[in-house]
């Protein structure tokens, strides 16, 4: 019986993964995820229900559209299997307890966020903001302390990344972090509490740096190229840091205010001072940001680290030296 329910959860993961493929394709384009029915992008052939069975249909169709024979990417069944396996891993970690619920919700958010960030270098608010709310709300049944830890996790994660963004802009005169990363960190902090944040940041940076360096050495790029229109035409990414001074600063630190007022207002300034996503060109329109060869999207690494801390936390605590485990919040 145990095995039957585990298999059922895995299959549920496959079906959810099939839906997440739709989310990954449509949310960045601002399209509805409910209507219309999925079609072949090449010939417009409407995908029948029996052609939409996770993994099975992809294999039965031999990875081709039944209308025109256009190859169907192996990423569709991959996302389905990945979601199924992660659902199964959550069950192994938490069993049929309440903790399984927030774990499954987090997986269901992290899978599309990861692939959208890989494809488009964005983390849509339509996923991260409801995600933060869900993380906090799902902490309520755990009791007051856990709810507080979730709220501190969300606020602390956001503020820490906001601070790094600010420092990156001031010191390196460029955008060091994607603007959406702080919302993803806030979401992870809400689901996994502030205890997990340091470990997540450590694992994400370490793994991102190692894999990014390897990819840079092997392929000449640390991250995926963007699909932004004009990416292929523009031979060289235009110098992103053309104008190091943000055009729309609201800078208390340099205004004529007395020092004590500036110090008092500094936290406010951190939170609300706008950091432009891209420098404005002569027409005053934002230039399309094009990822350079050394840029890596941080979202997928944050997502991976969050899953590692959630699913492997106790195991990490048992294999790592105790001071290290404490740092990772697994002690
Ligand atoms: Zn087709």
* Distance from Cα 160 to the centre of ligand 1, integer Å: 47
Residue 187 belongs to some domain of the structure: yes
Q: Please state, in angstroms and as integers, the Cα–Cα distance from residue 228 to each residue in 28, 111, 224, 278, 291, following that order.
A: 12, 22, 12, 14, 10
pLDDT value at residue 1: 80
- Distance in angstroms (rounded) separating the CA atoms of residues 24 and 46: 19
**Taking a C-beta distance cutoff of 8 angstroms, is the pair 48, 60 a contact?**
no
The residue out of 48, 77, 96 marking a domain boundary is 96
- Domain of residue 28: give its range: 1-96
- 3-state SS assignment for residue 41: coil
- Going from the Cα of 126 to the center of ligand 1, the distance in angstroms, rounded, reads 30
Question: Are 112 and 222 in the same domain?
Answer: yes
143-166 tens-digit pLDDT = 999 999 999 999 999 998 888 877
Q: How far is the CA of 13 from the centre of ligand 1 (A)?
A: 26
CA of 64 to the centre of ligand 1 (A): 8
139 shares a domain with 195: yes
> How far, in Å, is the centroid of ligand 1 from the Cα of 47?
9
Ligand 1 geometric centre to CA of 17 (Å): 22
Q: 57 and 171: one domain?
A: no
Q: Rounding to the nearest 10 degrees, give the CA dihedral for residues 195, 199, 201, 205.
A: 180
pLDDT given at position 114: 95
- 235 bridge partner residues: none
Residues 71 and 63 sit within 8 Å (Cβ to Cβ): yes
Same domain, 109 and 92: no
On whether residue 263 sits in a domain, the answer given is no
Pair 329, 198 in one domain = yes
Q: Is residue 283 part of a domain?
A: no
Contacts of residue 328, defined as CB under 8 A and 6 or more positions apart, other chains included, come to 198, 199, 202, 203, 309, 316, 317, 320
Angstrom distance (rounded) from CA 183 to CA 192: 14
> What domain count does the chain have?
2
Choose the final residue of a domain: 74, 96, 118.
96
Q: Do 215 and 138 share a structural domain?
A: yes
Residue 304 lies in a domain: yes
Nearest 5°: phi and psi at 27?
-55, -45
Whose tokens are 């559209």? That residue is 65
144 and 9 housed in the same domain? no
In a shared domain, residues 165 and 125: yes
How much distance in Å is there from the Cα of 37 to the middle of ligand 1? 14
- Separation of CA 43 and ligand 1 centre (Å): 4
Q: How many residues does the chain have?
A: 331
Please give the structure tokens belonging to residue 110. Answer: 């992290």
139 and 37, same domain (yes or no): no
In a domain, 257, yes or no: no
The closest of 33, 177, 178, 47 to 112, measured between CA atoms, is 33
Q: Could you tell me the distance, in angstroms and rounded to a whole number, from the CA of residue 73 to the centre of ligand 1?
A: 12
- 63 shares a domain with 164: no
48, 69, 96: which is the final residue of a domain? 96
Report the separation in Å between the CA atom of 67 and the middle of ligand 1, taken as the mean of its atom positions: 5
62 and 161 belong to one structural domain: no
Tell me if 272 is assigned to some domain.
Answer: no
Query: Is 260 within a domain?
Result: no
Block means of pLDDT (10 residues each) for the chain, length 331 residues? 92 95 91 85 86 89 88 92 97 95 97 93 92 96 94 93 80 68 94 91 89 81 66 42 38 54 59 50 58 81 95 80 64 43
Q: 297 and 154 in one domain? A: yes
Distance 80 CA to ligand 1 centre (A): 21
């Amino acid at each position: 019986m145990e095995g039957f329910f585990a298999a059922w959860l895995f299959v549920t993961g496959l079906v959810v993964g099939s839906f997440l493929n739709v989310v990954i394709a449509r949310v960045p384009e601002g399209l509805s995820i409910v209507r219309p029915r999925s079609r072949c992008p090449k010939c417009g052939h409407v995908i029948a229900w029996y052609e939409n069975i996770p993994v099975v249909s992809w294999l039965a169709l031999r990875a081709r559209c039944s209308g025109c024979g256009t190859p169907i990417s192996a990423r569709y069944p991959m996302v389905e299997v990945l979601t199924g396996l992660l659902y199964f891993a959550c069950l192994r970690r938490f069993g049929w307890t309440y903790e399984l619920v927030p774990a499954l919700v987090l997986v269901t958010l992290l899978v599309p966020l990861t692939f959208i960030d890989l494809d488009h270098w964005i983390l849509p608010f339509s996923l991260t903001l409801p995600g933060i709310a869900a993380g906090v709300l799902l902490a309520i049944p755990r009791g007051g302390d856990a709810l507080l830890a979730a709220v501190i996790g969300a606020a602390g994660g956001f503020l820490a990344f906001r601070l790094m963004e600010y420092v990156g802009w001031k010191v390196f005169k460029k955008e060091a972090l994607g603007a959406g990363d702080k919302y993803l960190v806030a979401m992870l902090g809400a689901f996994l509490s502030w205890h997990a944040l340091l470990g997540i940041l450590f694992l994400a940076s370490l793994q991102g740096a190692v894999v990014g360096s390897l990819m840079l050495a092997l392929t000449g790029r640390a991250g995926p190229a963007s699909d932004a229109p004009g990416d292929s035409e523009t031979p060289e990414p235009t110098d992103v840091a053309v104008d190091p001074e943000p055009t729309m600063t609201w800078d208390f630190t340099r205004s004529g205010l007395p020092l004590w007022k500036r110090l008092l207002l500094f936290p406010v300034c951190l939170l609300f001072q706008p950091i432009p996503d891209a420098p404005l060109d002569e027409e005053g329109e934002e230039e399309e940001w094009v990822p350079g060869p050394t840029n890596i999207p941080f979202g997928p690494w944050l997502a991976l680290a969050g899953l590692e801390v959630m699913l492997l936390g106790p195991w990490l605590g048992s294999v790592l030296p105790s001071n290290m485990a404490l740092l990772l919040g697994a002690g």
